A and B are shown apart, each in its own frame.
Chain A
Amino acid sequence: MSALLQAEQLTMRFGGLTAVKEFSCAIESGELFGLIGPNGAGKTTVFNLLTGVYRPSSGTVTFAQSDITGQPPPVIAARGMSRTFQNIRLFDELSALENVMAGAHLRGHINLFDALLRTGRNAREEKRQRDWAYKLLAFMGLEERAGLAAKHLPYGDRRKLEIARALATEPKLICLDEPAAGMNPSEKQGLAQLIRRIRDQLHVTVLLIEHDMQLVMGLCERIQVLDHGETIACGKPREIQSDARVIEAYLGVADA
């Protein structure tokens, strides 16, 4: 059995700067995988490489047994990888419900003429998207907010809505970029439970970038640590916690 997502020797250079250097990882189906590292370690760049936002300078990405290196984001989304953004990117003018329905667009099977002529197929597609979107909103605890424009949602809900939208694409793997950023401790706890339920109930594999160590350590089954674009450790939370290089990266080297 090969991994669901396998990255090999991914390198990304911006001009002279190497943001990510020879990044490799293998995420098994059904895992809760964490990617951590200090600010500027290249975590988000890795996400951008995996989801097709950037084309890697070198290296390969294999997802569900097919090579997706350099494919554009819509193709990767169609293969079953979805994501959220560190700087929330919702469709602000659309309602929460419509945001999630937009995620469901990907799995729709109607053509433009169905839409223009309002055929029966169009009606069925609308119903499918609507039902699915309501279900996900309920899952994320946002059913009350369905009719509100995304721009009017409070911050925490915006983060959750982005997750709901990503789930609407029916992914095999969801990449969450700092989903708990800016949340208070109790919100974070709720979110951790939600993420676990995404994996347990929706059977979606989760790849998580997070700054909050407590959250990551409690939630993830395996963790990979980046620093200056390079992997410095990978393993179970307990191993990571005691890894000398990780501690050094986070706390700096003690003066000798």
Chain B
Amino acid sequence: MARNFLVMLGLLAGCYGFNFVLAEFIEVVYVDYINLCGLAIILAVGLNVINGLAGQFSLGHAGFMSVGAFAGAYASIMLTYGVIESGPLSFASMGSFLLCLALSGLSAAAVGALVGAPTLRLKGDYLAIATLGFAEITRIVLTAQDAIGGPTGLKRIPKMPLLPGAEKWDGGTSTFWIYAFVCLVILLSLNLQRSTFGRALICVRENELAAETMGVRAARMKVMAFVYGAFFAGIAGCLYAHYQHSVRPDDFTTVRSIEVVVMLVLGGLGSLTGAVVGAVIVTLMPQFLRPLEEFLNLSGLSMVVYAALLLLMMLFRPQGIFGQRELSLKLLRRLVPGAGRESGP
């Protein structure tokens, strides 16, 4: 554990440095892409535990994200301004921000347990459509709440808290916060995956009946996977809300849920590395295709190219980029003779 602690501290320092470099030397547009990638990674790595390890096809990740986003954003506005819709945009204090993050994660996790428990008996596509339904219901219920702005949602969500020495950074400290959680979710998921619980989850995926007769409580494991994935989706939602400074229920449609699944399958379902790579690709591809679209003045082109690439990818490598493998030192050495270190974060 102590080693993990040190690793995390080191990673946090790395995130600080990363944020500094981005703030000082990189154009704002690209920083934005990098931050969006980070958010996508948190979502995808969390969902990988549900869909990849436990094999429970969830199509409702945007729902969990929205719960976290609204819980965190609302709390943050209240803690910072005391009321909705007043005051200029300001920084959240460190304490209130951490509190909001915890609240986001926990409320989303609670919803995860709520969704996970009754839908456990559903399998495969039925589970998928039920979770999709839950996410849609969540979105519609959020839309109907005037206290959080109805369809227009919440605005003037405070900025993420400043860090010592970061007062003059352009674009604030979002990168630090987002990547801190990227590191956290990756570290914890790696630990989970390599533990007896990770194996138990995979057992449920591979053969539920055999898992049960070996003493693995499949129902409990599935709820655990949902709670874990939902927790980090909630965190991602909270970060997203603070990053955008506004959040609407329609930010979390089925399309977004599907997008996260696409990230996983593209990278290779069940592979953490795959989830990370898939998240980055799916986030960046439309962004980099957009200039082409604007140049040719063909609206829709970037999505068409993206879809075509997705299709080709699936047709030629249906198991995803990484399959179920992880990027490990061993694999790296085999691919690139002489290469030693895994590149991060």
A interface with B by C-beta (< 8 Å): 51-53, 72-74, 76-78, 82-83, 85, 89-94, 98, 101-106, 108, 110, 112, 114-120, 122, 125-126, 129, 165-166, 168-169
Pick the contact of B324 from A82, A93, A126 — CB < 8 Å?
A93
CA distance A28 to B283 in the complex (A): 63
Instruction: Name the contact of A93 in the complex, choosing from B202, B212, B213 (C-beta under 8 A).
Output: B202
B53 to chain A, nearest CB (A): 11
Distance from A139 Cβ to chain B, minimum over Cβ atoms (Å): 17
Nearest residue in B to A129 (C-beta to C-beta)?
B196
Cβ of B203 and Cβ of A94 under 8 Å apart? yes
A74 adjacent to B210 (CB under 8 Å): no
Q: Are B209 and A53 in contact (CB under 8 A)?
A: yes
Mask for B187-220, Cβ within 8 A of A = 1, else 0? 0100110011111101100110111111111100
**Docked pose: A117 CA to B203 CA in angstroms:** 22
| Interface membership of B1, Cβ < 8 A | yes
Point out the residue from A52, A90, A104, A115 that lies within 8 Å of B198, measured CB to CB.
A115
Q: Does B145 sit at the interface, judged by CB under 8 A?
A: no
Please give 20 more A-B residue pairs, beta carbons under 8 A apart, in addition to A102-B203, A103-B215, A115-B197: A53-B213, A73-B212, A74-B212, A74-B215, A77-B215, A82-B214, A85-B210, A93-B270, A94-B202, A94-B206, A102-B199, A102-B200, A105-B196, A105-B214, A106-B215, A106-B216, A115-B192, A116-B191, A118-B191, A118-B195
Count how many chain B residues have C-beta atoms less than 8 Å from C-beta atoms of the other chain: 29
A27 to B115, CA, bound (A): 43
For the complex formed, measure the closest distance between the CB of B10 and the CB atoms of chain A, giving whole angstroms: 15
Q: Which residues of B contact A52 (CB under 8 A)?
A: 213
Show 16 A/B contacts (Cβ-Cβ < 8 Å), sorted by A.
A77-B214, A85-B210, A90-B206, A90-B207, A91-B206, A94-B203, A101-B196, A102-B202, A102-B216, A105-B214, A105-B216, A106-B216, A115-B195, A116-B188, A165-B214, A168-B214
Secondary structure type dominating chain A contacts: helix
Whether B152 sits at the interface, judged by CB under 8 Å, is no
A72 touches B212 (CB 8 A): yes
A102 surroundings in chain B (CB, below 8 A):
199-200, 202-203, 211, 214, 216
Shortest C-beta distance, A254 to chain B (Å), equals: 42
Judge whether B207 and A110 touch: CB under 8 Å: no
Contacts of B191 in A (CB 8 A): 115-118
Which residue on chain B has the smallest CB distance to residue A112?
A: B197
Interface membership of B4, Cβ < 8 A: yes
A-B pairs with lowest CB-CB distance, top 3 = A106-B215, A115-B195, A77-B215
Is there a chain A Cβ closer than 8 Å to B224's Cβ? yes
- Per-residue CB contact flags for chain B residues 1-17 toward chain A (1 = under 8 Å, else 0) read 10110000000000000
Q: Which of B4, B199, B213 contacts A73 (CB 8 A)?
A: B213
Please give the residue numbers on chain B whose beta carbons come within 8 Å of chain A beta carbons, in ascending order: 1, 3-4, 188, 191-192, 195-200, 202-203, 206-207, 209-218, 224, 270, 324
Q: A82-B214, A120-B1 are in contact. Are A125 and B196 (CB under 8 A)?
A: yes
Distance, CA A53 to CA B131, complexed state (A): 27
Contact between B196 and A115, CB atoms less than 8 A apart? yes
A91: contacting residue among B192, B207, B224, CB under 8 A: B207
| Nearest-Cβ distance from residue B331 to partner chain A, whole angstroms | 15
Chain A residues with Cβ under 8 A from B206's Cβ?
Answer: 90-94
Q: Which residues of A contact B209 (CB under 8 A)?
A: 53, 73, 85, 89
Most buried by A among B1, B198, B200, B207: B1
User: Which residues of B sit under 8 angstroms from A76, Cβ to Cβ?
Assistant: 213
A117→B196 contact, CB < 8 A = no
B218 CB contacts on chain A under 8 angstroms: 74
With a CB–CB cut-off of 8 A, which chain B residues contact A73?
209, 212-213, 215
CA distance A72 to B213 in the complex (A): 9
Q: Determine which of B197, B214, B224 lies in contact with A169 in the assembled complex, contact meaning CB atoms within 8 Å.
A: B214
Smallest CB gap from A111: residue in B: B197
Q: How far is the CA of A53 from the CA of B212 in the complex (A)?
A: 9
With both beta carbons as reference points, the residue of chain B lying nearest to A117 in the complex is identified as B1
Q: B192 to nearest A CB, angstroms?
A: 6
Most chain-A Cβ atoms within 10 A of its Cβ — which of B210, B218, B270?
B210
Contact A51 B213 (CB under 8 A): yes
Q: Is the CB of B210 within 8 A of A90?
A: yes
How far is it, in angstroms, between the C-alpha of A77 and the C-alpha of B4 when the chains are bound? 34
Asked whether A118 lies within 8 Å of B1 as measured between CB atoms, the reply is yes
Nearest CB in chain A: distance from B201 CB, A? 10
- Please give the distance in Å from B105's CB to the nearest CB on chain A: 13
Q: Determine how close the nearest CB of chain A comes to the CB of B148; give it in whole angstroms.
A: 32
